[in-house]
Amino acid sequence: MIWGNTPPPLCDFVQWLDTEQSQEAKDHVEREARWAAERWQRMLHEEQMEEKHKKDQEDIRKRIEEVESQEAEEREADGERKRERGNIPGPLSKAPHHHVIPAIYIP
C-alpha cells in the first residue's frame, strides 16, 4: 500500500509512544532539562548583574559630576566673597607693585 503525502497510520505512532524508556534514559533527559534550566537562570542573573553594574556606574558618574559642579560653585562663591572683602585682588584690580631700588656698582 502506498501512502503518498498522507501520514502513516496512527497505529505506527501508538507503538512508538508505548515504547518504554529505560530509567537511565529518563534520568538523562531530566538532567539535561535541569542543566538547561540552571543555565538559563545563570544567564538571566548575569544579564541582571550587568544591567545593575551599568546603572551603578552611571549613578556614580552623575554623582561625581554633581560634586565637582558644587565644588566649582563653592570655589567661585568663596573667591567672590574674598574679593568683596578686599583680601584677594580680582582679575581687573591692580596688584600691589614692589619697588626695587637698583644697586649701585662701584668698582
Residue 11 lies in a domain: no
Q: What are phi and psi of 56, to 5 degrees?
A: -60, -45
Asked if residue 71 belongs to a domain, the reply is yes
- Predicted TM-score (pTM) of this structure: 0.45
The answer to the question of residue 8 being in a domain is: no
Q: How many domains does the chain have?
A: 1
In tens, the pLDDT along 5-14 reads: 676 666 665 5
Task: Measure the CA–CA gap between 3 and 12, rounded to whole angstroms.
Answer: 13
Domain-located, residue 57: yes
Q: What is d(CA 69, CA 61) in angstroms, rounded to the nearest whole number?
A: 12
Is residue 99 one of the residues assigned to a domain?
A: no
Q: Which domain holds residue 48?
A: 22-85
Please check whether residue 106 lies inside any domain of the structure.
no
Reported as a pLDDT band with limits 50, 70 and 90, residue 82 is confident
| Domain presence at residue 40 | yes
Residue in 90, 72, 70 with CA at minimum distance from that of residue 80: 90
